[in-house]
Each structure stands twice: as C-alpha cells, then as structure tokens.
Amino acid sequence: MSCPACFSGTIHDGTPAGTETVLHGLPTYIASPAPSEGMEVKAAVVIVSDALGWKFTNTRCLADAMAAEGGGGGGGGGGWRVYVPDFMDGNAAPPTLLSLFDALLYPSPSWISTLLKPFHLLRVLATILPFQIRNRFSVTYPRVERFVRAVREEEASGVGVGLGVAGYCWGGKHATVLASLLRDVDGEGEEGEREKRTLVDAAFTAHPGGLSLPADIANLRAPWSMAIGDDDFVMPVGEVEKAKEALKKSEGPEAMEARSEVVVYPGAKHGFAVRGNPGDENDRRRGVEAREQCLSWLKRWFAKGRWVEGYQ
C-alpha cells in the first residue's frame, strides 16, 4: 500500500560509508562497524526500506548509524552488520518524487506554479501506479523471506549471532510478517529431535504501511516493536489502539504483550523515522529517538538469545 505520505519528506545530507555487493542474489548495501582489534560481528540486521528503496541516502545513512552504534551495550560484545537489499527489483520510487509531492501538496509561490500542478499530478501518477503494481506485497514478500532465511543460514548461523529485521513504511508489513515465522533447528534433547525457533530474534517497524489489523500481528512470535506518530493518517490513533488490544489478547505460555512495544511519538507524521526534516528540531529529535528505540529493542533481545516455540 502506498499513499501521498509515503512519498513525502526530506532528503538528508550525508555520504553513505558502506559498500555495495550482490548477496543471496540481490544487490545489497552493507554497513559494517568500524574495524577494531579482536571485534567480531555479533549480529546481522536486515532493513526492509521505505518506498524510496535500497539506494535512498537517508536509508543508507541510517544503516551506517545502526552499524556504528548497534554493537555497544547489550549487543553481545561485538559489532552489527546491517544489510539493505534491493527487494524491489530495481523498481523503487525515485527521490525526485519527494519534491513533486511538495509541489502538489503545499501552496504555490506563484501563479505559474499553480498552473503546473496538473502536470506534476500526471508525473506523480505515472510513477506511483507502476510502483504499486510492481512492488505489491504478493510479489516482493517472497524475495524478502528468501533473503532473510539465507542470512540466517549463513551470515547469522553462528552461536550467539543475532538476526534482526527493521522495516520502514513500505517495509513495515514485511518485517512484521517475518516476526511470525518459525524455522526448524537441531534440538539438544537426548534424541537430537528437531525444534522450532523464530526465524528472526527480534523485529522493529516504524510507521508501517499496509498492515492488516489485527490479522498481521495476531500470530507474532518474535519480539516486535513499533514506532508510530499520533499524526500518521496511514495508521490513525484508532488503528494504533487496535494493535495494542490485539497484542494484549495474544495467547501462549508468555503473552505477546510482554514481548512487544508500541511507542507513540506526539506530533510525528508518517515517515518521520526516515524522511523527517533534520532542520526542524522536533523532526530531528523524533528521528533520533526512533533509531534509539530500534537499537535498544534489538540489543535487548539479541542479549536474551533465540526464541523457541513455547516462548522459553
């Protein structure tokens, strides 16, 4: 699902410091912690981006910050490697769409700008409609799950290596559904029987788009955290309350409410965690706080270890 707010916001200054490669069949931006003597990579985090895709400067700089800041504290004594794959198969929305939406949504500074609004509208529709078709959930989700399973089997297969997923806007539904998946692993019982563990150790999402509530969170198994603004018309306050109630009603040996959080940011609009205006002090602060929420949540659950069926 896409909406005008999914294509509005600010492009941040900054130069991404990571590298590009092809990983598990997908072009991928990789942000790694600064090398230091004796440090091991102790966690892998997969970002499922917003509509602007894997090349968007804001998302890459966010990945850099997560890689730089993630390994401290409860992250297990090592650094994090953060992956931003191209889950859209080259069909991400162009960053120029942000300025087009500004021209449409805000008052025109001149009569010429007013006359150009229909032209801008046509350009927007010519971009958004193909985007929605090419990047619908049924097409993109299988790519996301395959990639995350491959990372679990290879980059995050070692003892004590955590795997987290962070989904923003367009990627929020993907990250949430991943948090409901289990995988078979070799057990530690007398007969070495197989047991179920969650695919990811923890999931985070900010201002998710396209969630079906309460269905998409009814079967959550991995710890799940959401950052949402109280001025987000994609998920209004009523939908946020519906999500909270669904988490309270979840079943299991340990209720999902104890392994989830919903943090509401007063005054925040859709997209604030990635595309907020850094020149606005409130926007800047909310963006930093949302990043810290993500980091804190993943650190907490990486330190606790992997979840098995039965929520041990």
Model confidence pLDDT, tens digit, residues 258-310: 899 999 999 999 999 999 999 999 999 999 999 999 999 999 999 876 554 44
What does the pLDDT read at residue 133? 95
Location of structure tokens 């946020």 = 240
- Report DSSP state, residue 8: -
Q: Is the pLDDT of residue 74 over 50?
A: no
3-state secondary structure of 278: coil
User: Is the pLDDT higher at 97 or at 4?
Assistant: 97
Taking residues 191-220, report their average pLDDT.
87
Name the helix (H) or strand (E) containing 178.
helix 172-178
What does the pLDDT read at residue 96? 84
Q: Is the pLDDT of residue 195 over 90?
A: no
Strands (E), the chain: 19-23, 26-31, 41-48, 79-85, 162-168, 182-186, 194-198, 202-206, 224-231, 260-269
What does the pLDDT read at residue 11? 86
Q: How confident is the model at residue 79 (pLDDT cuts 50, 70, 90)?
A: confident
What does the pLDDT read at residue 41? 79
Q: How confident is the model at residue 105 (pLDDT cuts 50, 70, 90)?
A: low
What does the pLDDT read at residue 310? 44
Q: How confident is the model at residue 77 (pLDDT cuts 50, 70, 90)?
A: very low
